[in-house]
Amino acid sequence: MAADTESKLQLVHRHIRAFPDFPKKGILFRDICPILKDPAALTAVIDLFEEHVRKNHPQVDLIIGLDARGFLFGPLLAQRLGVGFVMIRKKGKLPGTTVSVSYDLEYGKAEAEIQEDAVAPGQKILLIDDLLATGGTLHAACELMRKQQAEVLGCMVVIELKELNGIDKLKPHSLFSLVQY
């Protein structure tokens, strides 16, 4: 099992490309597009997330995906686990009554929102996204879940950029990352 997990992690790692100076000079962008293009790599990502959830969070009710790349992995994982999937979107993208939270970006502010009836009080949820950098977006998602009175079991990402210390903003919530840079 450990060898199988290691080979899946290596496959995922090999399918992450680095683009220097994108979207601006000094940024080393980590691209997940090759994972999505390769069925074996995408299956490995979902397998690894599923193994983690089944081992550590068997009581999860919902997978919550962050706009937009959490939408790529979240529904696949939710389907495997037999639970629902809910989206957290950028402000103004969801119909009906919503709950929102504003958060700081590197240069400005943004808002994230969820449909008011998407998560019931007390539901146990896991948040999923492609990447953790400074932690602002995942922290905002945790705040939205607090407003909804949901229980955040943890956060999951494909890639964690450790040098940016985004994990500090997520405390007391746990983080599970497949690949760390």
Kindly list the catalytic residues: 69, 106
The DSSP line for 31-68 is E-HHHHH-HHHHHHHHHHHHHHHHHH-TT--EEEEETT
**Look-up: residue for tokens 């999951």?**
156
Return all residues near 70 (Cβ < 8 A) that are at least 6 apart: 64, 87, 88, 127, 128, 129, 130
Q: How many other CB atoms sit within 10 Å of the CB of residue 74?
A: 26
From 119, 4, 126, 134, select the one nearest 73 (Cα to Cα).
126
Start-to-end CA distance of the chain, whole Å, equals 24
**Look-up: residue for tokens 């068997």?**
58
- Please name the amino acid found at residue 115: Q
Cα distance between residue 142 and residue 28, in whole Å: 26
